Amino acid sequence: MRKLIILLLFFNPILLSAQENNLNIESHWISITKQNGKYVLYEPCDAEISQIVIDKGNHEMIMHYGQENEVFKILASKHISVNELDLTILYTVFEKPRTTMVKVQFLDLSKRIARWSFTLSDDDGSTIPNEYIMVPMQKSKNYKVVKEPMRDCWPTDENDTTRTK
């Protein structure tokens, strides 16, 4: 395992320099949700809207889950077609490095609506699928913000201080 880490560290600058020209995608993305047949920015009452930031200078993908963030190292990127991009990312689970593929598939290229999907796994075989429909942050102004009702996160009984969700 140690040899793998050393190899990754050695070849990482080579991979990153080769992939710099291929990573042609907006840097800041925000999650949208379909409600009544239309996409909206759905703002949960107990978290922020999920976002992905691509830091091209540091070759990182930062996933803002709403309450916490995770940083992934981008090892490579490949344009599959005009509608699809694959990113190979490095992450760690219990200090063990792992890689996975992030698929970015444009559902509507003109509106820049894309599905971002990837699966994380750990030693016991558990998997955590991640799938988000997103638009570049600069396009977010075209979508209505819908706030989740506070009653969905907090109790209606004033004497009850526990969360209902």
Look at residue 162 and tell me if it is in a domain: no
Look at residue 126 and tell me if it is in a domain: yes
Look at residue 165 and tell me if it is in a domain: no
Look at residue 8 and tell me if it is in a domain: yes
Q: Which domain holds residue 123?
A: 2-150
Q: How many domains does the chain have?
A: 1
Look at residue 164 and tell me if it is in a domain: no
Asked whether the predicted pLDDT for residue 22 surpasses 90, the reply is no
Provide the CATH number for the domain around residue 34: 2.40.128
The confidence score (pLDDT) of residue 123 equals: 80
Q: What is the pLDDT of residues 64-105, one digit of tens each?
A: 998 889 999 999 999 999 999 999 999 987 788 999 999 999
Look at residue 64 and tell me if it is in a domain: yes
Look at residue 157 and tell me if it is in a domain: no
Look at residue 101 and tell me if it is in a domain: yes
The answer to whether 133 and 22 have CB atoms below 8 angstroms apart is: no
pTM (two decimals): 0.77
